[in-house]
Amino acid sequence: MPDMNLSQLNSFSPSRRGILRQAATGLLLLGGGAALSATAPSSPAPDFTLRSANGPNLRLQEQRGRVVMVNFWATWCGPCREEMPQLNKLYAKYRASGFVLLGVNVDDDARHATDVAARMGVTFPVLLDTDKTVSRLYDVSTMPSTLLIDRDGRVRYLHRGYHAGYEEDYDRQIRELLR
């Protein structure tokens, strides 16, 4: 069967997408750790398109040629809130050098997520994954989860969780990928 991208899947009827989603979930469960391979270092980052908190859709593939950090977060996640000011600093420091930071929020309530991001002063794009499609695609099981993707669209680093000091690792890895 040929590979399908998200836009092709979205062209199916809602009931057919539901059946395909259930079948894919079953295959992932049968495959054990197969879902982890989607975000294994050196693997191509799975493409996705999500609506941004500012309105327009944003597609990961359109960021090729840049170093991309994808940070999955939730408003109820204390470590996520602790990490946000550090991510803002990294975004400000490297965005002019070809670095993009995408904050993928997984809350059910997009308005609440947008309000919290605004109150926290988030300056990077916030994408809304209310139906958890992208979170499942990337096998997100821990909040926050952060990936660094190189200019060729390959996952280079994966971080699950956050503790003070992780931003030093992020900084070093971003510098390495921007070279």
Residue 128 near residue 110 (C-beta atoms within 8 A)? yes
Candidate list 35, 50, 77, 147, residue with the active-site label:
77
10 Å CB burial of residue 100 (0-12, 13-18, 19+) is buried
Candidate list 80, 87, 134, 140, residue with the active-site label:
80
pLDDT tens, position by position, for the chain (179 residues)?
344 444 444 455 555 544 544 444 333 333 333 334 466 778 999 999 999 998 899 999 999 999 999 999 999 999 999 999 999 999 999 999 999 999 999 999 999 999 999 999 999 999 999 999 999 999 999 999 999 999 999 999 999 999 999 999 999 999 999 99
For the segment 8-27, what is each residue's pLDDT rounded down to a tens digit?
A: 444 555 555 445 444 443 33
Query: And the tokens for 100?
Result: 């993009």
Residue 107 near residue 132 (C-beta atoms within 8 A)? no
Q: Could you please state the CATH topology (level 3) that the domain comprising 33-178 is classified under.
A: Glutaredoxin (3.40.30)
Catalytic-residue membership of 80: yes
Q: Where are the domains positioned within the chain? A: 1-32, 33-178
How does 24-46 read in b/e, with b if 16+ C-beta sit within 10 Å? eeeebeeeeeebeebbeeeeebb
Catalytic-residue membership of 161: no
